[in-house]
Amino acid sequence: MNLATLLPANQVLCGPETGSKKRSLELLSELLAKSIPKIPQEDIFKGLLQRERLGSTALGKGVAIPHTRLANITSPTMAMIKLDKGIEYDAPDGQPVDILFALAVPEDSDSNHLKILASLAEMLANHEFVNELRSNYNCNALYELLSNWRPHRAA
């Protein structure tokens, strides 16, 4: 699966200092709202926050994939932030999170939602790729790197 088709370039942000999980989720919801203007940003934020209350979406090694299902959207969309300084995120390994990918999918999304999460998890499990993400401080270069990533197996 080519994740770049779900991630507009204007929804990739480098270098913000959010200082907290909550502020990071707010920022991600603002970015996601660019693709789904008919959904209030506050509703997107609430959805991300509710999912986090079920359990942390941190994968460990400094990465997290907060996600939500939303009524009244027809296709999935993503946003990404790469923080200059990691934040406390209740990660399973206790490490601060500095790379966050947010995903919003239609409320009735089924296996496609899981395929997207699996592709993201595969990409973020690639330590070499994650190190490349961390070493990029230019949003355009970061987006280009994300656009060129391909899974090792068909999704």
145, exposed or middle or buried, with CB in 10 Å at 0-12, 13-18, 19+?
Answer: middle
- Confirm whether 113 is a catalytic residue: no
Q: Give residue for tokens 């990071």.
A: 24
What residues contact residue 138 under an 8 Å CB cut-off, 6+ apart? Answer: 14
| Single-letter residue type at 2 | N
Distance of alpha carbon 58 from alpha carbon 56, whole angstroms: 5
Give me the catalytic one of 67, 113, 127, 152: 67
Q: DSSP class of residue 116?
A: H
Distance of alpha carbon 73 from alpha carbon 75, whole angstroms: 6
Catalytic residue numbers read 67
